[in-house]
Amino acid sequence: MALDVALDIGTSSTRLATNQRGVIFNEPTLVGIDTSTGEVVDIGYGATDLVGRTSRHVVVFRPLEKGATVDFDVTARLITTLFERAGVSKLSRARVVMSVPSLATAIERRALRQAAVQAGAREVSLIEAPIAAAIGLGLPIQDPIGSAVAVLGAGASEAALISLGGIVTSGARRLGGNDLDNAIATLLRMRQGVVVAPATLEMLKMTLGSALGSTNGGVEKVPARTVERGEPVEVEVSAELVNQAMSEVVAQTVRLIQECLADAPPDLSQDVSARGLTLVGGHALVNDFAELIAASTGVQVVLAPHPDVVVIQGLLACLEEMSALHALFRGLDD
């Protein structure tokens, strides 16, 4: 069986799957590079471990921001390293399917394509994330009915209504889970005069945050440093503060989905009312997000199980479909 590869490079996590082994990489989008030699030292969790621990030559890069590649060179190295792990190289080329946010510019798409070819792709297909998500969910996107999905990631959020194999209406913004973490950081600095670690911000969001603003009197004690002197302290953070910080980004995300659905032609709109909208992406896991979106759109909303791997599963399904078609064409040639 020829090797086919699926790749979903996200702002916070990257996933790689092959037709032979399934998902083999689902780790942070981090690349540790030795700046004296230009070599990649490690990627993903391995690069997390390098932060602050190795020689001053090693720098850990995060090549994506807000769903967009901000460092093409580092992204290309990430792709090369990932392909090596999958067994792809210039000598052993593979067919590659990659997801891109619908907001990706033509320059970015070309750069990703080029990087994949340089790393050993024989042919590269780019698929917009909402389409990949809908395929991963097994929605009947080729049929003349409307399927609605929202992909809520760390750096970008997009909603799409799909029918007859294409996007009919959509909405996308460079806004996601990272913006919630940043908003919580800002409010903590302003209100309590402290700075907390990124992992703590994420934990606060997951445990205390609610899109509906429900608090249940929740409080977490977390380690922090004072803004003034940098002294280590322990602070109590309330669910009220977290919810207040989150409210603006949450509202903007809801608006994006509302606008996408409002633009739908009436018959497709009816399909969405009947069949609902599915949320995917890690940011969709914010507590009560599905409930809030349902209440604000009047549409039934379902959170996909394992929402962070739906896109890569959709890409894998595309590969299978492509192989089946290729086999068919080979059959015709015989």
Ligand X SMILES: Nc1ncnc2c1ncn2[C@@H]1O[C@H](COP(=O)(O)OP(=O)(O)OP(=O)(O)O)[C@@H](O)[C@H]1O
Among 3, 11, 43, 124, interactor with ligand X by CB under 6 A: 11
Contact pattern from residue 53 through residue 92 relative to Mg ion, giving x for each residue in contact according to CB under 5 A and a dash for the rest: ----------------------------------------
42-101: contacts with ligand X (CB under 6 A): 67
Nearer to Mg ion, 176 or 209 (CB): 176
Residue 10 lies near ligand X (rule: CB under 6 A):
yes
Non-local (6+) Cβ contacts of 82 within 8 A are: 7, 14, 16, 25, 43, 119
Indicate the SS3 state at residue 324. helix
The binder of ligand X chosen from 60, 82, 132, 154 (CB under 6 A)? 154
Listed ranges 137-145, 173-181, 211-219, 224-232: which one lies at the site for ligand X (CB under 6 A): 173-181
Binding residues for Mg ion restricted to 139-158, rule: CB under 5 A: 153
**Residue 205 neighbours by CB under 8 Å, 6+ apart:** 177, 180, 181, 184, 242, 246, 286
Which of 30, 38, 15, 25 lies closest to 63, judged by CA? 30
The site partner of 308 among ligand X, Mg ion, none (C-beta below 5 to 8 Å per kind) is ligand X
Work out whether 171 is an interface residue with Mg ion (CB under 5 A): no
Contact 173, 163 (CB under 8 A): no
176 binds, among ligand X, Mg ion, none (CB under 5 to 8 A by kind): ligand X
Q: Which is nearer to ligand X, 199 or 328 (CB)?
A: 199
Q: How many CB atoms lie within 10 A of CB 216?
A: 7
Is 281 a binding residue for ligand X by CB under 6 A? The answer is: yes
End-to-end CA distance of the chain: 19
- Which of Mg ion, ligand X, none binds 130 (CB below 5-8 Å, type-dependent)? none
Tokens 């009220």 belong to 240
Tell whether residue 153 is a contact of ligand X (CB under 6 A).
yes
Cα(67)–Cα(180) distance, integer angstroms: 15
List 30's β-bridge partners, or say none.
Answer: none
> Which DSSP state fits 304?
P
What's the closest the beta carbon of residue 38 comes to ligand X, in angstroms? 26
Cα dihedral 106/107/109/111 (nearest 10): 160
Amino acid at 223: P
Touching ligand X, residues 175-214 (CB under 6 A): 176-178, 202, 205-206
* By CB under 6 A, residue 171 contacts ligand X: no
**Residue 130, interface with Mg ion (CB under 5 A)?**
no
Count of residues binding ligand X (CB under 6 A)? 21
Chain contacts with ligand X (rule: CB under 6 A): 10-13, 67, 153-156, 176-178, 202, 205-206, 281-283, 285-286, 308
